[in-house]
Amino acid sequence: SFGQRVFPTYNMGNADVLVSVNADFLSGWGLTTENTGQYASRRRPEDATAEKPMSRHWQFEARMSLSGANADKRVMIKPSQVPAVVLALHDAVAKKTGGASVGGGAVDGVSDNIEKCAAELVAAKGKSLVICGHNDEGTQTIVNSINMMLGNYGSTIDLANHSWLK
Protein backbone atom coordinates (compact mmCIF):
# COMPACT_ATOMS: atom_id res chain seq x y z
CA SER A 1 0.00 0.00 0.00
CA PHE A 2 2.80 2.43 0.80
CA GLY A 3 5.81 1.07 -1.09
CA GLN A 4 7.39 -0.53 1.96
CA ARG A 5 7.05 -3.90 3.63
CA VAL A 6 6.80 -2.98 7.30
CA PHE A 7 4.62 -3.60 10.32
CA PRO A 8 3.49 -0.16 11.52
CA THR A 9 3.45 0.88 15.13
CA TYR A 10 0.05 1.66 16.57
CA ASN A 11 -0.86 4.25 19.17
CA MET A 12 -3.95 2.81 20.79
CA GLY A 13 -3.82 5.59 23.34
CA ASN A 14 -4.92 7.99 20.58
CA ALA A 15 -7.85 5.85 19.44
CA ASP A 16 -11.36 6.79 20.55
CA VAL A 17 -12.69 3.77 18.61
CA LEU A 18 -10.67 0.59 18.12
CA VAL A 19 -11.83 -2.22 15.85
CA SER A 20 -10.00 -5.52 15.79
CA VAL A 21 -10.85 -8.25 13.32
CA ASN A 22 -9.38 -11.50 14.60
CA ALA A 23 -6.31 -9.79 16.09
CA ASP A 24 -5.63 -10.60 19.75
CA PHE A 25 -3.54 -7.46 20.26
CA LEU A 26 -3.49 -7.88 24.06
CA SER A 27 -2.02 -11.37 24.00
CA GLY A 28 -0.36 -12.55 20.81
CA TRP A 29 -0.52 -10.03 17.97
CA GLY A 30 2.01 -7.27 17.36
CA LEU A 31 3.76 -5.48 20.20
CA THR A 32 1.55 -6.78 23.01
CA THR A 33 3.37 -4.98 25.84
CA GLU A 34 2.97 -1.59 24.16
CA ASN A 35 -0.56 -2.40 23.01
CA THR A 36 -1.65 -3.41 26.51
CA GLY A 37 -0.30 -0.26 28.16
CA GLN A 38 -1.79 2.07 25.55
CA TYR A 39 -5.11 0.25 25.52
CA ALA A 40 -5.37 0.29 29.32
CA SER A 41 -4.65 4.03 29.44
CA ARG A 42 -7.95 4.69 27.63
CA ARG A 43 -10.11 2.09 29.38
CA ARG A 44 -10.55 3.72 32.79
CA PRO A 45 -13.95 5.44 33.09
CA GLU A 46 -12.77 7.50 36.04
CA ASP A 47 -10.02 9.08 33.89
CA ALA A 48 -12.28 9.89 30.92
CA THR A 49 -12.80 13.53 29.98
CA ALA A 50 -14.74 15.30 27.24
CA GLU A 51 -11.48 15.83 25.34
CA LYS A 52 -10.29 12.25 25.85
CA PRO A 53 -13.22 9.90 26.43
CA MET A 54 -12.87 6.25 27.31
CA SER A 55 -12.14 4.33 24.14
CA ARG A 56 -14.73 2.11 22.51
CA HIS A 57 -13.56 -1.38 21.47
CA TRP A 58 -15.17 -3.63 18.87
CA GLN A 59 -13.82 -7.17 18.43
CA PHE A 60 -14.86 -9.39 15.53
CA GLU A 61 -13.30 -12.81 16.12
CA ALA A 62 -13.57 -16.50 15.47
CA ARG A 63 -12.43 -17.65 18.90
CA MET A 64 -12.47 -16.10 22.34
CA SER A 65 -9.33 -14.10 23.00
CA LEU A 66 -8.05 -11.85 25.75
CA SER A 67 -8.78 -8.84 23.52
CA GLY A 68 -12.30 -10.12 22.85
CA ALA A 69 -12.93 -10.65 26.55
CA ASN A 70 -12.10 -6.96 27.14
CA ALA A 71 -14.14 -5.57 24.24
CA ASP A 72 -17.21 -3.40 24.64
CA LYS A 73 -18.78 -5.32 21.79
CA ARG A 74 -17.55 -8.80 20.81
CA VAL A 75 -19.01 -10.22 17.62
CA MET A 76 -18.48 -13.91 16.92
CA ILE A 77 -17.62 -14.77 13.33
CA LYS A 78 -16.44 -17.87 11.51
CA PRO A 79 -12.75 -18.00 10.51
CA SER A 80 -13.88 -18.08 6.88
CA GLN A 81 -15.77 -14.79 7.39
CA VAL A 82 -12.74 -12.66 8.26
CA PRO A 83 -12.14 -11.33 4.72
CA ALA A 84 -15.89 -10.78 4.19
CA VAL A 85 -16.16 -8.81 7.46
CA VAL A 86 -13.24 -6.59 6.41
CA LEU A 87 -14.77 -6.02 2.95
CA ALA A 88 -18.19 -5.21 4.43
CA LEU A 89 -16.66 -2.83 6.98
CA HIS A 90 -14.71 -1.12 4.20
CA ASP A 91 -17.86 -0.57 2.15
CA ALA A 92 -19.86 0.63 5.15
CA VAL A 93 -17.16 3.21 5.94
CA ALA A 94 -16.82 4.14 2.25
CA LYS A 95 -20.57 4.76 1.98
CA LYS A 96 -20.40 7.16 4.94
CA THR A 97 -17.21 8.97 3.84
CA GLY A 98 -17.67 9.08 0.06
CA GLY A 99 -14.97 6.48 -0.58
CA ALA A 100 -14.99 3.87 -3.32
CA SER A 101 -16.75 0.56 -2.72
CA VAL A 102 -14.85 -2.73 -3.14
CA GLY A 103 -17.95 -4.88 -3.47
CA GLY A 104 -18.29 -6.14 0.08
CA GLY A 105 -21.72 -7.61 0.68
CA ALA A 106 -23.78 -8.63 3.65
CA VAL A 107 -22.18 -11.04 6.10
CA ASP A 108 -24.51 -13.60 7.63
CA GLY A 109 -25.35 -12.73 11.21
CA VAL A 110 -23.09 -9.68 11.58
CA SER A 111 -24.18 -7.05 9.02
CA ASP A 112 -26.07 -4.95 11.59
CA ASN A 113 -23.02 -4.87 13.85
CA ILE A 114 -20.80 -3.88 10.92
CA GLU A 115 -23.07 -0.91 10.14
CA LYS A 116 -23.06 0.24 13.78
CA CYS A 117 -19.30 -0.21 14.00
CA ALA A 118 -18.75 1.80 10.80
CA ALA A 119 -20.89 4.64 12.16
CA GLU A 120 -18.75 4.79 15.32
CA LEU A 121 -15.54 4.72 13.28
CA VAL A 122 -16.67 7.58 11.05
CA ALA A 123 -17.76 9.62 14.10
CA ALA A 124 -14.22 9.18 15.46
CA LYS A 125 -12.50 9.95 12.15
CA GLY A 126 -8.78 10.58 12.69
CA LYS A 127 -9.02 9.10 16.18
CA SER A 128 -9.83 5.51 15.32
CA LEU A 129 -7.96 2.35 14.45
CA VAL A 130 -8.80 -0.81 12.52
CA ILE A 131 -6.49 -3.82 12.79
CA CYS A 132 -6.75 -7.36 11.47
CA GLY A 133 -4.95 -10.56 12.38
CA HIS A 134 -5.64 -12.29 9.07
CA ASN A 135 -2.35 -13.14 7.37
CA ASP A 136 -3.44 -12.29 3.84
CA GLU A 137 -2.04 -9.41 1.80
CA GLY A 138 -5.36 -8.60 0.13
CA THR A 139 -7.24 -8.44 3.42
CA GLN A 140 -4.53 -6.24 4.96
CA THR A 141 -4.65 -3.93 1.93
CA ILE A 142 -8.39 -3.42 2.50
CA VAL A 143 -7.71 -2.68 6.20
CA ASN A 144 -5.14 -0.09 5.08
CA SER A 145 -7.79 1.48 2.86
CA ILE A 146 -10.26 1.68 5.76
CA ASN A 147 -7.67 3.40 7.93
CA MET A 148 -6.81 5.76 5.06
CA MET A 149 -10.48 6.76 4.59
CA LEU A 150 -10.67 7.42 8.32
CA GLY A 151 -7.51 9.58 8.41
CA ASN A 152 -5.76 7.34 10.94
CA TYR A 153 -2.25 7.49 9.46
CA GLY A 154 -0.14 9.89 11.49
CA SER A 155 -2.56 9.75 14.42
CA THR A 156 -3.06 6.14 15.51
CA ILE A 157 -0.82 4.50 12.89
CA ASP A 158 2.86 5.34 12.42
CA LEU A 159 4.69 4.01 9.36
CA ALA A 160 7.77 6.22 9.77
CA ASN A 161 8.66 4.61 13.10
CA HIS A 162 7.57 1.12 12.15
CA SER A 163 8.14 -1.97 14.22
CA TRP A 164 11.19 -4.15 13.66
CA LEU A 165 9.30 -7.14 15.00
CA LYS A 166 9.71 -10.18 12.75
Three-state SS for the chain is CCCCCCEEEECHHHCCEEEEECCCCCCCCCCHHHHHHHHHHCCCHHHCCCCCCCCEEEEEECCCCHHHHHCCEEEECCHHHHHHHHHHHHHHHHHHHCCCCCCCCCCCCCHHHHHHHHHHHHHCCCCEEEEECCCCHHHHHHHHHHHHHCCCECCCEEEEEEECCC
Residue range 108-130: average pLDDT?
97
pLDDT of residue 152: 97
pLDDT for residue 51: 83
* Greater pLDDT, 6 or 43: 43
pLDDT at 166 > cutoff 80: no
Please give the share of the chain, as a percent, with pLDDT higher than 90: 80
- Rounded to two decimals, the pTM is 0.94
> Is residue 106 pLDDT above 90, yes or no?
no
